[in-house]
Structure 1
Amino acid sequence: MGPLHKLGRLPIVLTVPAFAVLLVVFGMPIIQLFLTSLNAPAFSVVNYQSFFCEQSNVRVLFQTIEVSVVATAICLIIGYPTAYLIVAASKRLRIALIVLVLIPYLTSGLARTYAWVVILGDRGLINNVLLDLGLIPSPLELIYNRMAVYIGMVHIMLPMMILPLVSVMQGIDKSLMAAARSMGARPFAAFGRVYFPLTLPGVRSGVLLVFVVCLGFYITPQALGGLRDAMLSTFIAAQVATAFNLGAIAASAFILLGIAAVVLSILGLDISGKQGLALQPARKSGSIRLPSVGTLTRYLNELAAPYRSKRWTAKLYQAGDDSRWWNIVGIVFVVLTMFYLLFPSLVIIIMSFGAGTVLKFPPSSLSLQWYRSFFNNPWWTGALWTSIQLGVAVAILSTIVGTLAAYGLSRTFPRLRSLLTMLVLTPITLPVIVVGIATYLGLVNLGLIGSKIGLALAHSIGSITFVVVIVAATLANFDLRLEQAAKSMRAGPLQTFMRVTLPLIRPGIIGGAIFAFIHSFDEVVISSLVGGSIRTLPLKMWDNMRNEMDPTIAAVASLLSLLPVLWLIALYLTSLRSKQGAQHALPVPTT
């Protein structure tokens, strides 16, 4: 019993519950899915050959890559300057802008997709305004095309690009840019040579997250795109719903997974600027081969040095007229970005109070009829109650298991911690349709397809990951000397955790629980695969969007758009209470 007793005292044991859930529901099925794609035990690539032999499959594959690359590029082009301007703002304004980015990030993706359906539809907001003004004779084709898909996808993914960039940019020392300017570098040169290389980790994280999620997009392309804009995830979902050929489905899923793995391997390389250092010897060798060019260059630089010095001195104390215009451009850019992120939800909220039989903006008169229709309809309220039950169950399970795993990982050896953290992050770094297919197989093995327990386990796969990430980030700032001090006072491990560690990491735990609930409450793709006859609120919304476009959805979407505000208030109050508790816990100095 001695070795077992020692093993039980190791922190790594705390990660066992989390990895048990991930392994049974997702890990082992993904291996089974891979073997199925290879026709195990015969082991052949016939399923992959069949996929690439179909020209339509190859077209959908390249179309998926194209849409994902373009959407990611647009997010980077808009997100990078937005993040830069947010970090450059004053502290209060920066906090306000980050909150404005977080609100759409926490809002249901299905609700935001529905908002764009209402805005871009043939009788949507834009067409109605243009028709009323007499600018167009007939509605424009703004929906069911590639442009509408890009608008919807970028709107959903833009916060996921901005937030990692802001996180990295806030840690950059601003004096580095000032030092570069003091050495005579122009603003763009200082930015390109000093600031931008330091932001590459944020660029890499944002691009990777956005691209991988875009690969697995299912709802938005199907709701806003036409038949020519189908993604591979839509193709896989159609295979699941019609001819359930598991070999072909597995091959399609692993082709999509292979693309994500290639991008992950490329962006996982060190692109922090060290490659440029490796080029320096080549440049030196070039100057040795062409001494005349190097000598001429140095001579011209020496001739231009007095002029550059005089010009730099003149510019140093000159009033910056150009900076005022750049400030105006920056303000306009941030305002337009925030308008793009928040306007769709605002439109839905206003239109949900309309009194007519159809949605109009602005509504001719105000009424609560669509909210009464929602709360008086047992189908809607039943779906809402199912989502709440699942969300609470998933939040409890994921918070307990994820917190234990995060605590165990924080006390584990660095190399082992890095490996285990990568395994925990797998469910949210893979295309969601692949995760859904693997989870489907896992629940089939457990006999839980079409049950609430199965749905809760399926939702917990991603929720556990969010809890681990958030709690681990909180534990990274935790002072281990506090635990050591408690143990020196003869407090046991459990008492130390409950009395010292838990109160200090409580904001992270609550934040993880909220994100776990949101992830479960907003889940559509996995729920559609494993839910069977069970209808959650997002699934009910999706069914209505595809079939009848009941205006009641506007009331549901408006409620989902207001939820993030409640979450942020709850997080703020929790953080404030934690800070006040920490201040009261400080010893009062005596004289």
Structure 2
Amino acid sequence: MKTLPTLGRMPIVLTGPALVVLLVVFGIPIILLFLASLNAPAFSFANYQAFFGQPANIRVLFQTVEISVVATAICLLIGYPTAYLIVAASKRLRMALIVLVLVPYLTSGLVRTYAWIVILGDRGLINNLLLDHGLISSPLPLIYNRMAVYIGMVHIMLPTMILPLVSVMMGIDKSLMAAARSMGARPFAAFWHVFFPLSMPGVRGGSLLVFVICLGFYITPAALGGLGDAMLSTFIASQVKTFFNMARVAATAFILLAVAIVVLSVFGLDLSGAQGRKPQQVQNSWLGRLPSFGPLLRYLGEFLAPRRGKRWVAQLFQAGHESRWSKVVGVLFLALVMFYLLFPEILVVIMSFSAGKYLEFPPSGLSLQWYRSFFSDPSWYAAAWTSIQIGVVVAALSTMLGTLAAYGLSSTLPRLRSFLTMVILTPITFPVIVVGIATYLGLLKLGLLGTMTGIVLAHTIGAIGYVVVTVSATLANFDPRLEQAAMSMRAGPFRTFMRVTLPLIRPGIIGGAVFAFLASFDEVIITSLVAGLSIRTLPLKMWEDIRHQIDPTIAAVATLLILLPLFILMILYVAGWRSTLSLQRARPADAA
């Protein structure tokens, strides 16, 4: 009976179960992996020297960094104006646009890659339309090249760039822009000197997140790229499948990890807002390091001061008006971005109802033949049932461990909280192929390779991070005085948590469980390493069919996976709506 009060006084203990699972499955193995790369206990850099001694390896390394940088830059160039326009829209339109971004974000990356194969393939949508209209005599080489890789990677990662930017931009005080405009600043000057510096945390956070994830890309480059577009993750996977030399594989994995760590260390991953910064911090940023233009700008400022003063008096306290053309351009840009994000998925859904022997657009007739093929083929529905089972267990286990960890972290010291949060989020911030190799080694030591338990543990170490992030965000808005009030009425810690805390943070817990399930259900790379030959999940089955044969049944499977996020969003909406009603009912009691 004394256990709960003790835990209430030591909330850090609640992070213990999550840290133990993380340590056993991932933490200790990655340390052993690093020692193996150094040929412990002899300790030498022979494996690293062997890697850099081959020009082909260096070329693949630089190619990986190049592709990741270019994909990140394209995502930023498209994502920043998209996020800005979403934030500038009305409340209802903003919510609709965010949902439209969330749908592809929650959709399987494998499905979206498959959609681009259908569009860009030699017998894909674009080539078929051009051939049917007589514009070309032979299919254009739209696939298996670098451009196809960029199209697929940017399509998958663009929501990951947009969402952090929207989150930061919505926290920027709009009155600052209005104040700059009322002082005579032109719209672009007000944006560049006020809004853009305050949005830099979103730019930095989104760019680093996209870059690190791109470093570990495996499926999209392998499916859309050619032999000259291989990335280091593909190279590592081929090493595992052909000649499994643990020391060589470990060295290659840690070279990729070193690139990610160096970039994160130099730029720093900070998603927090910039509103609390001191003015000196903005002035000392790179925006203010233009000394060569200082005298010229001051001279022009003095020359134009009288004219600016007259314009300021005339426009004081007048709201800025956007030109008609800027609105038109903004609407067209948003429409193109949403078309780019959603059209591939809509195309797959339409083609899945084709009545022909092959996928075609537009369909010559409507039929459910590919859905019947899915439900009548044991290899398909057995793989789907396996994925559902694993996903449910992973969601339950990671939600329990992640919620306890988030609740414990919310009451710890800030520095310790930051350190432990960084440790828990390691599996989702490291390149996925590195996590897969370390997890493979950990499950090998535990004797769990090729088992359902092993796959569940491998998925759980990453799913815990999603739960911790989601529940922590909910706890950040939770008023601890409600718990204090309950305890003052002689409610114990457990009763207080169940009757007060849990109902109010339920949307975060449900959201964390949903993200954990989706992360498990969509996992391919780690599963391919630890599943062995006896267990086949739905993503593995899809990936094998995409690589060896384009079975039209995949379109039906992809459609079911596209509809899954819509169902998930409905669950999150209902959970949030019920929580809002509970909070509204609690307010009259508080006021009384």
TM > 0.5 between the two?
A: yes
Cα–Cα, structure 1 residues 402 and 135, in superposed 2: closer, same or farther, change >3 Å? same
Is 1:268 the counterpart of 2:268 in the alignment?
yes
Q: Distance in 1 between matches of 2:119 and 2:344?
A: 8
Structure 2 residue matching 1:341: 3-state secondary structure = helix
Is 1:245 the counterpart of 2:245 in the alignment?
yes
Structure 2 residue matching 1:586: 3-state secondary structure = helix
Cα–Cα, structure 1 residues 246 and 478, in superposed 2: closer, same or farther, change >3 Å? same
Is 1:356 the counterpart of 2:362 in the alignment?
no
Q: Distance in 2 between matches of 1:585 and 1:190?
A: 43
Compute the displacement of 1:3 (Å). Answer: 12
Q: Distance in 1 between matches of 2:54 and 2:297?
A: 58
- Residues 28-78 of structure 1: per-residue CA shift (max 9 Å, x gap): 011011111111110000000000011110000000000000000000000
Compute the displacement of 1:590 (Å). Answer: 10
Q: Distance in 1 between matches of 2:41 and 2:230?
A: 33
Structure 2 residue matching 1:404: 3-state secondary structure = helix
Q: How does 1:125-524 map to 2 (within 5 A)?
A: 125-268=125-268, 277-278=283-284, 301-312=301-312, 323-524=323-524
Matching residue of 1:558: 559
One-letter code of the match for 2:499? R
Q: Distance in 1 between matches of 2:34 and 2:444?
A: 16
- Residues 172-217 of structure 1: per-residue CA shift (max 9 Å, x gap): 0111111111112122211111100000000111001100000000
One-letter code of the match for 1:247? A
Matching residue of 1:290: none
Compute the displacement of 1:574 (Å). Answer: 0.9
Structure 2 residue matching 1:550: 3-state secondary structure = coil
Q: Distance in 2 between matches of 1:486 and 1:560?
A: 43
Matching residue of 1:544: 545
Q: Distance in 1 between matches of 2:298 and 2:370?
A: 75
Q: Distance in 2 between matches of 1:314 and 1:375?
A: 71
Matching residue of 2:575: 574
Matching residue of 2:123: 123
Stretch deviating more after TM superposition (13-22 or 184-193): 184-193
Structure 2 residue matching 1:101: 3-state secondary structure = helix
Compute the displacement of 1:5 (Å). Answer: 8.7
For the Cα contact (< 8 Å) 2:471–2:512, is it kept in 1?
yes
One-letter code of the match for 1:210? V
Q: Distance in 2 between matches of 1:53 and 1:430?
A: 25
Q: Distance in 2 between matches of 1:588 and 1:49?
A: 69
- Residues 539-558 of structure 1: per-residue CA shift (max 9 Å, x gap): 00000001111110000001
Compute the displacement of 1:513 (Å). Answer: 0.3
Q: Distance in 2 between matches of 1:217 and 1:543?
A: 17
Compute the displacement of 1:382 (Å). Answer: 0.5
Q: Distance in 1 between matches of 2:299 and 2:526?
A: 67
Paired-residue identity, %? 71
Unaligned runs of 5+ in 2: none
One-letter code of the match for 1:94? R
TM-score, normalising length: structure 2: 0.94
Q: How does 1:60-71 map to 2 (within 5 A)?
A: 60-71=60-71
Compute the displacement of 1:12 (Å). Answer: 0.7
Compute the displacement of 1:22 (Å). Answer: 0.3
Compute the displacement of 1:322 (Å). Answer: 6.3
Cα–Cα, structure 1 residues 362 and 137, in superposed 2: closer, same or farther, change >3 Å? same
Compute the displacement of 1:583 (Å). Answer: 2.1
One-letter code of the match for 2:231? M
Q: Distance in 2 between matches of 1:473 and 1:297?
A: 44
Compute the displacement of 1:80 (Å). Answer: 0.2
One-letter code of the match for 2:57? N
- Residues 134-158 of structure 1: per-residue CA shift (max 9 Å, x gap): 1111111100000000000000000
Structure 1 residue matching 2:588: 3-state secondary structure = coil
Q: Distance in 2 between matches of 1:573 and 1:279?
A: 44
Cα–Cα, structure 1 residues 322 and 532, in superposed 2: closer, same or farther, change >3 Å? same
- Residues 312-359 of structure 1: per-residue CA shift (max 9 Å, x gap): 556779998861100100000000000000000000000000011100
Compute the displacement of 1:266 (Å). Answer: 1.5
Stretch deviating more after TM superposition (127-136 or 312-321): 312-321
Q: Distance in 1 between matches of 2:327 and 2:303?
A: 35
Q: Distance in 1 between matches of 2:3 and 2:506?
A: 33
Cα–Cα, structure 1 residues 568 and 338, in superposed 2: closer, same or farther, change >3 Å? same
Cα–Cα, structure 1 residues 3 and 14, in superposed 2: closer, same or farther, change >3 Å? closer
Stretch deviating more after TM superposition (2-11 or 228-237): 2-11
Cα–Cα, structure 1 residues 276 and 95, in superposed 2: closer, same or farther, change >3 Å? closer
One-letter code of the match for 1:425? L
One-letter code of the match for 1:478? F
Matching residue of 1:45: 45
Compute the displacement of 1:582 (Å). Answer: 2.2
Q: Distance in 2 between matches of 1:182 and 1:427?
A: 48
Cα–Cα, structure 1 residues 471 and 590, in superposed 2: closer, same or farther, change >3 Å? closer
Q: Distance in 1 between matches of 2:339 and 2:50?
A: 46
Cα–Cα, structure 1 residues 364 and 269, in superposed 2: closer, same or farther, change >3 Å? closer
One-letter code of the match for 2:140? L
Cα–Cα, structure 1 residues 162 and 5, in superposed 2: closer, same or farther, change >3 Å? closer
One-letter code of the match for 2:235? F
Compute the displacement of 1:302 (Å). Answer: 4.0
Q: Distance in 2 between matches of 1:40 and 1:363?
A: 60
Q: Distance in 2 between matches of 1:269 and 1:342?
A: 29
- Residues 339-386 of structure 1: per-residue CA shift (max 9 Å, x gap): 000000000000000011100011000000000000000000100000
Q: Aligned residue pairs: how many?
A: 584
One-letter code of the match for 1:341? L
For the Cα contact (< 8 Å) 2:433–2:526, is it kept in 1?
yes
Matching residue of 2:536: 535
Compute the displacement of 1:423 (Å). Answer: 0.5
TM-score, normalising length: structure 1: 0.94
For the Cα contact (< 8 Å) 2:160–2:206, is it kept in 1?
yes
- Residues 460-485 of structure 1: per-residue CA shift (max 9 Å, x gap): 01100000110011011100000001
Cα–Cα, structure 1 residues 102 and 319, in superposed 2: closer, same or farther, change >3 Å? closer
Cα–Cα, structure 1 residues 95 and 3, in superposed 2: closer, same or farther, change >3 Å? closer
One-letter code of the match for 1:187? P
Q: Distance in 2 between matches of 1:2 and 1:494?
A: 11
Stretch deviating more after TM superposition (107-116 or 315-324): 315-324
Unaligned runs of 5+ in 1: 288-292
Cα–Cα, structure 1 residues 26 and 133, in superposed 2: closer, same or farther, change >3 Å? same
Q: Distance in 1 between matches of 2:2 and 2:235?
A: 55
Cα–Cα, structure 1 residues 513 and 127, in superposed 2: closer, same or farther, change >3 Å? same
Q: Distance in 2 between matches of 1:94 and 1:451?
A: 45
Compute the RMSD of aligned alpha carbons: 2.6
For the Cα contact (< 8 Å) 2:184–2:311, is it kept in 1?
no
Q: Distance in 1 between matches of 2:486 and 2:4?
A: 26
Structure 1 residue matching 2:490: 3-state secondary structure = coil
Compute the displacement of 1:309 (Å). Answer: 2.4
Compute the displacement of 1:585 (Å). Answer: 3.1
- Residues 536-589 of structure 1: per-residue CA shift (max 9 Å, x gap): 000000000011111100000011011100000000011111111222333369
Q: Distance in 2 between matches of 1:57 and 1:170?
A: 43
- Residues 222-242 of structure 1: per-residue CA shift (max 9 Å, x gap): 000000000000000000001
